[in-house]
């Protein structure tokens, strides 16, 4: 069975108590007041283990530093004393602003656990595990990835083994992964992740992905996990607003908005003068310059096949005359960062932390390395697990 890697926000302590609020809301409290430091936010689903009477899964109604508020009649009263563990699967974490020379969230870092098969379903071991950092759109083009502002260290497998090469913070970014060895089934690594901005710069609204790349001990391919954060819905004129035909070939290179993440382009054409021909989109796919030829559908929408990172040129044909216009947009088909060789290489999908693996069947294109998501809802988060070299 393939490894099951998942990142979790993590908190533990003997100072965590459970309060039955009676007719009011129930709460979980901590003397050290570390709930916000652990990255917990309203709406998070989290698990409790190690308590005397309150192990289980819960949803946060609201949270402040020392108190998590839950729904009424959720908890059994329990004083602090037991070693309680709180975990919440991590889909995204907003690090916010990073001041010049400063740290976010602080110099000790956000604690994250990378688990292989936390539920004990019988997965294979993860070997040759390395961590990569990507921009929120899955690329490595932002200042904090190219200049390696993100720093990570690890306390070892299971949180007990010590690996001297990873017990100090290492800068991770473009072309600089962090190798963390092997993670056997039902084991984990505790990671500490922080932003460390240089004294010469500051940046706001920082968001990024941490991707675990590994070898399945029973397979020849390396498994990858890619997380698409805050996806935009398909938009027929997102890349370029209406372009009026001239009856001659046109190259449009200005006022182009690049896709939010690697995804296919669409064209939408009016039908006033029987437009015909091919609109050619030029840009980068996985960092390589390429073109996609999309045949006009008069009075309708046509979808391309190549997932563009960036778009640099839109060429309209002689068959688009002054009576018609074409817009260029983004579709519902996402591009994987690496190529695949079999539809079975894409083996798991989650949308907003909900398992949607059943949506993969019939929606994988191995020629272009894409996943058709049907209809993407604005600002949803999608995570895809797949095998590649």
Q: Is the pLDDT of residue 1 over 60?
A: yes
* Claim to verify: residue 250 and residue 343 sit in the same structural domain: yes
Contact 69, 27 (CB under 8 A): yes
Mean pLDDT across the chain: 87
In a domain, 30, yes or no: yes
374 and 248 in a single domain? The answer is: yes
DSSP 78: B
Of the residues 205, 228, 251, which one is the last residue of a structural domain?
228
Q: What is the pLDDT of residue 69?
A: 97
Number of domains within the chain: 3
Task: Flag whether 2 is in a domain.
Answer: no
Q: Which of 359, 353, 389 is nearest to 371 (CA)?
A: 359
Q: How confident is the model at residue 203 (pLDDT cuts 50, 70, 90)?
A: low
Q: Compare 318 and 110 and report the one with higher pLDDT.
A: 318
Judge if 81 and 135 occupy the same domain: no
Are both 129 and 151 inside the same structural domain? yes
Q: Is residue 389 part of a domain?
A: no
Query: Same domain, yes or no, for 194 and 111?
Result: yes
Residue 144's pLDDT band (cuts 50, 70, 90): low
CB-based contacts of 173, cutoff 8 Å, min separation 6: 133, 140, 144, 145, 146, 147, 148, 149, 150
- 3 state SS for 309-324: CEEEEEEECCCCCCCC
Q: Do 253 and 166 lie in a common domain?
A: no
**Judgement on whether residues 376 and 352 belong to the same structural domain of the protein:** yes
| Residues near 152 by beta carbon (within 8 Å), at least 6 away in sequence | 109, 131, 169, 170, 172, 178, 191, 192, 193, 194, 210
pLDDT, mean of residues 223-239: 91
Highest mean pLDDT among 25-29, 100-104, 215-219: 25-29
Please check whether residues 200 and 122 belong to one and the same domain.
Answer: yes
Per-residue pLDDT tens digits for 58-78? 999 999 999 999 999 899 999
Q: Could you please report the per-residue DSSP string of 288-304?
A: EEEEEEEE--TTSEEEE
3-state secondary structure string across 86-141? EEEECCCCCCEEECCCCEECCCCCEEEEEEECCCCCCCCCEEEEEEEEEECCCCCC
* Domain hosting residue 48, numbered range: 8-89
- Sign of the CA dihedral 236, 237, 238, 240? positive
| pLDDT interval class at 206 (50, 70, 90) | low
Asked whether 189 and 156 are in contact (CB, 8 A), the reply is yes
In this structure, the answer to whether residues 66 and 107 fall within a common structural domain is: no
* Percent of the chain topping pLDDT 70: 87
What CATH number is associated with residue 114? 2.60.40
> Are 13 and 34 within 8 A, CB to CB?
yes
For residues 166 and 291, membership in a common domain is answered with no
On whether both 249 and 341 belong to a single domain, the answer is yes
Choose the final residue of a domain: 89, 123, 140. Answer: 89
Contact at 8 Å (CB) between 44 and 60?
yes
CA dihedral 115→118→120→124, nearest 10 degrees, is -20
| Whether residue 294 sits in one domain with residue 208 | no
Q: Residue 55: how many CB atoms within 10 A of its CB?
A: 12
pLDDT at 64: 97
321 in a structural domain:
yes
Q: Is residue 3 part of a domain?
A: no
Other beta carbons within 10 Å of 118? 18
Q: Which of 164, 195, 228 is the last residue of a domain?
A: 228
Q: Which of 210-214, 292-296, 347-351 has the highest mean pLDDT?
A: 292-296
Span 81-117, pLDDT tens digits: 999 999 998 866 666 666 777 787 888 888 888 888 8
In a domain, 385, yes or no: no
- What's the pLDDT at 365? 95
Pair of tokens at residue 15: 């100072």
For residue 344, the SS3 value is helix
Mean pLDDT of 153-168: 67
For residues 121-148, give the mean pLDDT: 75
- Residue 21 in any domain: the answer is yes
* Residue 386 placed within a domain: no
């Amino acid at each position: 069975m393939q490894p099951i890697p998942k990142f979790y926000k993590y908190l533990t302590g003997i100072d965590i108590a459970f309060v039955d609020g009676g007719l009011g809301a129930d709460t979980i409290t901590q003397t050290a007041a570390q709930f916000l430091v652990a990255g917990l936010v309203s709406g998070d689903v989290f698990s409790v283990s190690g308590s005397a009477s309150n192990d289980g899964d819960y949803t946060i109604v609201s949270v402040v530093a020392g108190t998590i508020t839950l729904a009424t009649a959720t908890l059994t009263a329990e004083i602090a004393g037991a070693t309680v563990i709180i975990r919440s699967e991590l889909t995204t974490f907003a690090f916010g602003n990073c001041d010049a020379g400063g740290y976010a969230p602080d110099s000790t870092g956000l604690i994250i656990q990378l688990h292989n098969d936390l539920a004990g379903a019988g997965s294979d071991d993860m070997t040759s595990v390395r961590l990569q950092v990507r921009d929120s759109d899955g690329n490595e083009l932002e200042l904090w990835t190219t200049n390696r502002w993100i720093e990570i260290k690890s306390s070892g497998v299971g949180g007990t083994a010590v690996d001297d090469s990873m017990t100090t913070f290492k800068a991770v970014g473009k072309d600089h992964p962090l190798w963390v060895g092997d993670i056997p089934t039902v084991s984990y690594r505790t990671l500490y992740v922080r932003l460390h901005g240089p004294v010469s710069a500051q940046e706001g609204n920082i968001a990024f992905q941490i991707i675990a790349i590994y070898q399945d001990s029973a397979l020849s391919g390396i498994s990858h996990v890619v997380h698409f954060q805050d996806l935009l819905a398909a938009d027929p004129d997102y890349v370029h607003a209406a372009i009026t035909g001239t009856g001659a070939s046109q190259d449009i290179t200005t006022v182009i908005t690049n896709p939010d993440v690697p995804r296919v382009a669409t064209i939408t054409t009016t039908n006033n003068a029987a437009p015909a021909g091919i609109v050619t989109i030029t840009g980068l796919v996985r960092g390589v310059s390429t073109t996609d030829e999309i045949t006009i559908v008069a009075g309708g929408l046509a979808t391309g096949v190549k997932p563009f990172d960036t778009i640099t040129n839109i060429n309209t044909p002689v068959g688009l005359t002054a009576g018609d216009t074409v817009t260029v947009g983004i579709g519902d088909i996402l591009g994987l960062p690496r190529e695949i060789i079999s539809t079975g290489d894409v083996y798991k999908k989650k949308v907003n932390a909900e398992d949607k693996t059943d949506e993969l069947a019939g929606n994988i294109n191995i020629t272009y390395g894409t996943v058709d998501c049907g209809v993407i809802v604005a600002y949803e988060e999608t995570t895809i697990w797949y095998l590649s070299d």
